[in-house]
């Protein structure tokens, strides 16, 4: 378990882990400590309530919540904390994540969830979005994020140059 995690990465099932690890990878890359936990809005509601309501008191600053199917995890967490909650809809199930996308994004006015794309791209962006929030008060992190964008830009330029030569 990481010391003093700033970001709590929650997921509804261990089957979500291969996707949600993308968020942790990004946070690790930028040196931000996070904690991954499993709790379900439906199968373990009391545990979910405890994790959400105690998060701020433990020093957590942002919660990333990923769940699939009738995905209520991010919304339930958001209803029990005023920390920013970033939702990641999981792919899979009969509707391959569209159910989770709608369940996560369609929050009633008053309890926001910042919803990312379905699957690994969404989990990666959840990590980056958390970093962007933390960077508001962290110049080192803001600079690292600018460098990351420049690196992506350079990668595209390199691929374009290689394609031109091929
Ligand atoms: C959701 O149901 C979980 O977040 C997961 O995406 C989905 C299926 O869970 P398992 O049946 O694989 O545990 O609550």
Model confidence at 1: pLDDT above 90: no
Helix 17-29 / helix 120-135 crossing angle, nearest 10 deg: 30
Residue-wise pLDDT for 51-103, tens only, equals 999 999 999 999 999 999 999 999 999 999 999 999 999 999 999 999 999 99
Would you give the distance in Å from CA 20 to the centre of its chain?
7
CB of 119 sitting under 6 A from ligand 1? no
Tell me if 65 CB under 6 Å of ligand 1.
no
**pLDDT given at position 128:** 99
Average pLDDT over residues 10-31: 98
Question: Is the minimum distance from the CB of 69 to ligand 1 under 6 angstroms?
Answer: yes
pLDDT score of 158 more than 90: yes
Binning pLDDT at 50, 70 and 90, where does residue 2 land?
confident
Give the per-residue pLDDT at 3: 83
Percentage of the chain beyond pLDDT 70 is 99
CA–CA separation, 115 and 141 (whole Å): 22
Q: How confident is the model at residue 10 (pLDDT cuts 50, 70, 90)?
A: very high
Distance CA 135, CA 147 (A): 13
- Closest by CA to 40, choosing from 3, 2, 90, 81, is 90
In ligand 1, which atom is closest to the CA atom of 11?
4
CB within 8 A of 67, min separation 6: which ones? 11, 12, 13, 16, 40, 41, 73, 74, 88, 89, 90, 100, 103, 104
Q: What is the mean pLDDT of residues 119-139?
A: 98
């Amino acid at each position: 378990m990481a010391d003093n995690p700033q970001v709590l990465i929650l997921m509804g099932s261990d089957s979500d882990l291969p996707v949600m690890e993308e968020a942790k990878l990004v946070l690790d890359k930028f040196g931000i400590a996070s904690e991954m936990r499993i709790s379900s809005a439906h199968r373990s509601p009391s545990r979910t309530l405890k994790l959400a309501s105690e998060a701020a008191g433990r020093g957590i600053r942002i919660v990333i919540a990923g769940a699939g199917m009738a995905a209520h995890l991010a919304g339930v967490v958001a209803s029990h904390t005023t920390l920013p909650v970033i939702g990641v809809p999981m792919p899979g199930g009969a509707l391959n994540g569209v159910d989770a996308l709608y369940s996560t994004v369609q929050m009633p006015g008053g309890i926001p969830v910042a919803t990312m794309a379905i699957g690994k791209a969404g989990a990666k962006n959840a990590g980056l979005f958390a970093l962007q929030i933390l960077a508001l008060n962290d110049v080192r992190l803001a600079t690292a994020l600018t460098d990351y964008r420049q690196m992506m830009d350079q990668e595209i330029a390199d691929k374009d140059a290689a394609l031109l030569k091929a």
